[in-house]
Amino acid sequence: MEKTSINLPLKNIIRASEAREKSPSVFFLHGFGSNMMDLYGLVGIFPPDWTCISLQASIPVQANGWAWAELDFVNLPKLPKPEQMEDHQESVVLSVKEAIKQLNLDEKRVNLLGFSQGASLSIFSGLMNTQLYNTVTALCGFMPVKEVVQKIKNKDLSLMKLFMGNGVQDPVVALELADKTYDDLKKLGVLDPIYKKYDAEHTISNDCIRDFLHFLKTNNS
């Protein structure tokens, strides 16, 4: 199916569903320094009745490379530039809601999937919008949860269905950061998040693809 795009707050590329009825959807959030074409490469693993929408961040960091927030190299384990992450979080939500209207998506089967910095933003947006997303998939990322506790204190986190996948040899996101994210989310009330570890570096392995695809299909049947 041909690639297309629609008018959203964030630049995007879309593979539309072949189904006539309302379809499940997955929104991709790429990593730091990448662009919307990166995770768009995953569309082939999704059934043809799914709508796949890859969103692009708006902060330029290199040639055709974009970020959801500039990196804070002094405090890497912390949320990078919180105000930029918050602005992008709002842009993601507005883009998702507008896409639901324009593409006739099933409001109950909207899924968010992010890689690296996009995974951090996916978890953040999932915590802030527990009724918008059916599932959140965070790959090779982490989230300093305690930094946003005040923003989510009135959210029903038991509604959040989360899959985390990280590489044990990841040189970019230390495994202990992902471990802490998982532990903190459970303490805050996220029920039964799935956390898988793979013999991989900062990449999405075939085993990871198999597992998160099973997670998504199971929760969108």
Is residue 1 predicted with pLDDT exceeding 70?
Answer: no
Specify the range with the lowest mean pLDDT, choosing from 33-37, 38-42, 86-90, 132-136: 86-90
Q: Residues of the chain with pLDDT > 70: what percent?
A: 94
pLDDT of residue 77: 56
Write out pLDDT tens, residues 139-178. 999 988 777 878 888 888 999 999 999 999 999 999 999 9
pLDDT band of 32, cuts 50, 70, 90? very high
pLDDT of residue 75: 59
pLDDT of residue 20: 79
pLDDT of residue 155: 85
Q: How far apart are CA 75 and CA 54, in angstroms?
A: 29
Identify any residues that bridge with 59 across adjacent strands, giving them in sequence order.
67
pLDDT of residue 149: 78
User: Over the chain, what is the mean pLDDT?
Assistant: 92
CA 60 remoteness from chain centre? 19
Q: How far apart are CA 152 and CA 150, in angstroms?
A: 6
pLDDT of residue 83: 78
Taken in order 141, 69, 55, 24, the sign of the CA dihedral is positive
Instruction: Report in angstroms the alpha-carbon separations of 8 from 13, 38, 81, 184.
Output: 10, 19, 24, 33
Please give the full DSSP string across the chain, using - where no structure is assigned: ---B----SS-EEEE--S-SS-EEEEEEE--TTB-HHHHHTTGGGS-TTSEEEEE--SEEEETTEEESS---TTSTTSPSSHHHHHHHHHHHHHHHHHHHHHHTEEEEEEEEEEETHHHHHHHHHHHH-TTT-SEEEEES----GGGGHHHHTTS-GGG--EEEEEETT-SSS-HHHHHHHHHHHHHHT--S-EEEEES-SSS--HHHHHHHHHHHHHTT-
pLDDT of residue 2: 65
Write out pLDDT tens, residues 57-114. 999 998 899 999 987 655 555 556 677 888 999 999 999 999 999 998 999 999 999 9
Strands 12-15 and 51-55 come out as antiparallel
95 closest CA partner among 2, 12, 216, 4: 12
- The answer to whether 212 and 137 are in contact (CB under 8 A) is yes
Is residue 27 predicted with pLDDT exceeding 90?
Answer: yes
pTM of the predicted model, to two decimals?
A: 0.94
Q: Which CATH class is domain 12-218?
A: alpha beta
pLDDT of residue 132: 97
